[in-house]
Structure 1
Amino acid sequence: MKLDKATVGKRYAKALFELATEVHEEQAVYEQLLVLRQVFIEVADLGEILSDVRLEMTEKKAILSALTPSFDPLIQNFLAVVFEYNRMDDLLLIIDEYERRFDDKQGLIIGTVTTAVELTAQQKSAIEMQIAPLLGYEKAQLTEQIDPTIIGGVVVEANHQVVDGSVKSRLEELRMKLSE
């Protein structure tokens, strides 16, 4: 059975995170993964190139060996496993999932807050302080989005959860109740 990319990302990230936790290197691994992510963003096709069956194995290994010397042995070994199982094109998903696990352990939830108008720094901070405990975290880091169609209020999306306090959704609820 072929696994979807999200499942692959979660499995590899979980294994790496557990190993990093075991050796008390979660922070160091996280920092190196951020560097690796930047490389894979700047060279957009790198994952596909390293997973492409049309490219000779020696050529792919040469690319990988040029990429890995600056990383700690833990990351080097991890990349070797990902490479061996031909999952280099899933590396960004793996890094994203590791980051989510790392943030979870830090008590941090990352998400978005959508409002009809731009928030002040104080308003954004207040929302972050209120939403974190509501979702079971110590702190929240929210990226702002502006959507005038919500009319007013806020919509917070984080960790596959949505807290919708928008005027638009309240009006839709009222409309449904009135139509019953």
Structure 2
Amino acid sequence: MSNQAVANRYASALFQLAKEKHDLKKVNEELQTVKTVVETTPELVQFLSHPKVTVAQKQAFIQESFKGLSDISVHTLLLLIDKKRTDIIVPMINKYKELAYEAQDMAEALVYSTKPLSEKEQDHIAKAFAKKAGKSKLEVKNIVDSELIGGIKIRIGDRIYDGTIKAQLDKLERNLIAGTR
């Protein structure tokens, strides 16, 4: 079975448990913190996958490091360590987020802009594009990209809304090369 399939199974089980306890949002926030730590700390990944470190030592380290998290989140990490599945932590978290957002009729919108957007601008974008995405709510994540020149580009799932000056210039260039108007 592929790692993604295994990650999906763990994410589904965690999703069902969090749903029963009415903790979808809290568990998602905690898992995003874990994901950030795992992705920014290669030493942690090396430690968790090192064959000479015992399972008990790894579990004790996780319990101490993430003691502020809910029991659901910590026990999931401990289970992954026990089953020697630490390599699927990030894919499992990504799948859980997808399931939790779907259950809450939400989506994540990646908004690329030339400068950081204010809260008011982000709220306006979330309200305007939630209907287009067919969701009741969007969570906006602003990514600053100085190559855009101006305007914004929004990615919601696999849909892209590109209102950047760079995109307009690229389109103009393609039209001029093709000889059309």
TM-score strictly above 0.5: yes
After TM superposition, the structure 1 = structure 2 runs for residues 29-178 of structure 1, keeping only pairs within 5 Å, are 29-30=27-28, 33=31, 45-64=43-62, 66=64, 74-75=72-73, 77-178=75-176
Structure 1 gaps, min length 5: none
Superposition deviation, residue 71 in structure 1: 6.2
Amino-acid identity (%):
24
Superposition deviation, residue 167 in structure 1: 2.2
Shift in alpha-carbon separation, 1:155–1:69, aligned structure 2, 3 A: closer
In structure 1, give the amino acid aligned to 2:140: L
Name the SS of the counterpart of 1:16 in structure 2.
helix
> CA deviation digits over 1:75-100, x for unaligned, max 9?
45533431222122432443343233
> CA deviation digits over 1:106-149, x for unaligned, max 9?
22322321233554544333222111111121122223333343
TM-score (norm 1): 0.71
Superposition deviation, residue 176 in structure 1: 1.7
Superposition deviation, residue 17 in structure 1: 0.5
Shift in alpha-carbon separation, 1:11–1:173, aligned structure 2, 3 A: farther
In structure 1, give the amino acid aligned to 2:155: E
TM-score (norm 2): 0.71
Structure 2 gaps, min length 5: none
Superposition deviation, residue 34 in structure 1: 5.6
